[in-house]
């Protein structure tokens, strides 16, 4: 059974810092991995999807890497801003016939203070 762990559970940083969020998974037989952001009481916003054949993916100030063999992914946020404050979730997308059956980590609650 796939298990996904995110470290740290919470992070508070001053504006402008670069930061790294970690995600680990127990079964390396993944199809893809997706990072999301969730604001309080809202739905999930897709940030980045990394295909299992890729090592990293970039979008603006965000960079996500994937090391499938070691079961790890990291999300790097450059020059953090107060608007980045949210919960960040990683999700493993399974292959085969397990369509739609994502396994999520518990999330990292990020607070960026001015």
Residues of this chain that bind another protein (CB under 8 A): 31-32, 34, 36, 41-46, 49, 51, 89, 91, 93, 97-107
- Supply the minimum distance, in Å, between the C-beta of residue 51 and another protein: 6
Helices (H) and strands (E) counted in the chain, each on its own, are: 0, 11
Tell me how many degrees the CA angle 84-87-92 measures, rounded to the nearest 5. Answer: 115
Pick the closer one to another protein by CB: 69 or 97.
Answer: 97
Smallest gap from Cβ 41 to another protein, in A, equals 7
Residue number, 96 or 114, with CB nearest to another protein: 96
For residue 72, give both structure tokens: 């790890």
Strands 108-113 and 10-14: parallel
How far is the C-alpha of 40 from the C-alpha of 91, rounded, in Å? 18
- Nearest distance from C-beta of residue 14 to another protein, angstroms: 27
């Amino acid at each position: 059974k796939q298990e996904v762990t995110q470290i740290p559970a919470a992070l508070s940083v001053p504006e402008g810092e670069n930061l790294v969020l970690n995600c680990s998974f127990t079964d390396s037989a993944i199809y893809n991995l997706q990072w999301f952001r969730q604001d309080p009481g809202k739905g999930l916003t897709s940030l980045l999807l990394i295909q299992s054949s890729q090592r990293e993916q970039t979008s603006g100030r965000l960079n996500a890497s994937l090391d499938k063999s070691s079961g790890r992914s990291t999300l790097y946020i450059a020059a953090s801003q107060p608007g980045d404050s949210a919960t960040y979730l990683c999700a493993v997308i399974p292959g085969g016939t397990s369509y739609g059956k994502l396994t999520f980590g518990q999330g990292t609650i990020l607070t960026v203070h001015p």
